Amino acid sequence: MGILTIFQKSKKEIESFIIATGRDLGCFRLNEKREAIFAVGSLFDLVQMTKKEYKVWKELKASRTISNWAENCINNNVVSDEKEFEQIKLKFKNHRLFEDWDKNSILQMKEHNVSKNGVFLNYSSKEDKWIISSFFPKRSISLNQEQYEVWRAAVGTSTIADVVKIVANTSNNNEKNAIEKVIRIAPILVERDLWNIEFFGKAEKYYANEKVIADTIHTEFFDSNSLSANTNIVSLGDEIGYESTSIREKDNMLIMVANKVVTLNSKEHAAWVAFRKGVLTIQDSKEIFSVQLEEMISVVKMLMDKRVVMKWPESLVANKQFVLSVGPKGIGIGTKNNKEYKILDVTNGEGKFLPYEAYMVWAFSHGYVPIAIIIEKFKMNLNYSQEDASYRVTQWVRLLLNQGLVNLTIIPDNPLVVGWKNQR
């Protein structure tokens, strides 16, 4: 069949630009015949796919138009004919796994969360490039200034519309130029696995009627007057970049939490990173930094007052008012035995092997959904009691955070605050 005869459709559809959405969960399970079933996630819609459908989604990530996508699938022998492609395309459309991508549609994408993969490593003044860690292959990716600005804008619980605002604010662009820049660069970041775009729809329907102001929630988790050596601490928020425009002056780091920008000095940032990467208690951090307990407690108090760390209980007794959310990071490779699951972390693409339960918590995670909903989904899918589900999710979230596979954040109740410029 000739490529030019694949579609007898309107010129508008064939020439419309598109962008792939969904988060790569890898091989979700093996069926009774030991055939791999893959999954791509958007909110709780874990779209299960055959190997062929999964390859079609991979081709989608590298395509810019419907016709380009079809040609790639045909030329690479992913599908056999037009009919097969159309069937898969319809399935993807029904699950919102691609969207129109133009200046009119982009500002309407207020129900698409964007998260970035990779971390900033260095700036090369010689090449004027920003160096970002990557997944495939295990080496860094160089971004020019425009690409870096768009990549970095996917912070916290940003939507596509938020990213446009951030790019306009931080790059001294007007909205028109910011839209053009995001339209041009975002597909490159999606193709390189440096961005995940997930449709979450009216996510507030899960908690809006019971939601309270984020700054006043569960004050016991931010009670800095009851800290002790054995207090368990976790970090909240997502790194934006260093405050200074000079790469040599790495004194202040900017963190986004609950749509607010928080500045941490070098000592505070070091402690924030430690609690994120596996340090469990204040006593543990005291020994790592070789300081007195009183000094370490003082640092933790400052972080707690800024709402970038919180106490972490053995089991979260969470309801829908508890607006803590778990934002997933990384790329799923999946399982070969239905028991152990491999995920590539955001730091250097190292494979992290997780048991099934931890993988399911990661798969259900979303920056716009409170952790109580994850516990509910976990309980329903794995047939645990409420008490057991709460305990297990609490423990698995801590593990995922330490492995670099999630961020913890507070779901914002206010519009995005953009208040930084030109950070690296």
Distance CA 186, CA 152 (A): 11
In order, the DSSP letters of 285-326 are HHHHHT--HHHHHHHHHHHHHTTSEEE--SS----TT--EEE
* Least confident interval from 153-157, 341-345, 352-356, 376-380: 153-157
**Predicted pLDDT of residue 247:** 47
**Predicted pLDDT of residue 261:** 86
pLDDT 10s digits, 363-392: 999 887 788 889 999 999 999 999 999 999
* Least confident interval from 259-263, 300-304, 382-386: 259-263
Distance CA 187, CA 72 (A): 16
Residues sharing a CB contact under 8 Å with residue 34, sequence separation 6 or more, in sequence order: none
**Predicted pLDDT of residue 319:** 64
Distance CA 24, CA 334 (A): 9
Whether pLDDT at 243 is above 60: yes
Distance CA 91, CA 74 (A): 18
Distance CA 249, CA 255 (A): 17
Residue 135: band (very low, low, confident or very high) from pLDDT cuts 50, 70, 90: low
Instruction: Output the average pLDDT for the chain.
Output: 84
Closest CA to 102 of 154, 160, 62, 56: 160
For residue 244, the 8-state DSSP code is S
Backbone angles phi, psi at 420, to 5 degrees: -135, 155
* Least confident interval from 40-44, 54-58, 142-146, 236-240: 40-44
What is the rounded average pLDDT of the residues 215-224? Answer: 72
What is the rounded average pLDDT of the residues 148-159? Answer: 86
Whether pLDDT at 238 is above 50: yes
Distance CA 61, CA 186 (A): 11
SS (H, E, C) 47-100: EEECHHHHHHHHHHHCCCEHHHHHHHHHHCCCCCCHHHHHHHHHHHHHCCCEEE
Residue 136: band (very low, low, confident or very high) from pLDDT cuts 50, 70, 90: low
Residues sharing a CB contact under 8 Å with residue 184, sequence separation 6 or more, in sequence order: none
pLDDT 10s digits, 109-127: 778 888 888 887 777 888 8
pLDDT 10s digits, 10-21: 444 546 899 999
pLDDT 10s digits, 278-299: 888 999 999 999 999 999 999 9
Confidence (pTM): 0.87
The share of the chain scoring above pLDDT 70, in percent, equals 84
pLDDT 10s digits, 25-42: 999 999 999 999 999 987
**Predicted pLDDT of residue 204:** 47
**Predicted pLDDT of residue 139:** 64
**Predicted pLDDT of residue 344:** 85
Angle, CA of 366, 397 and 120, to the nearest 5°: 70
Residue 134: band (very low, low, confident or very high) from pLDDT cuts 50, 70, 90: low
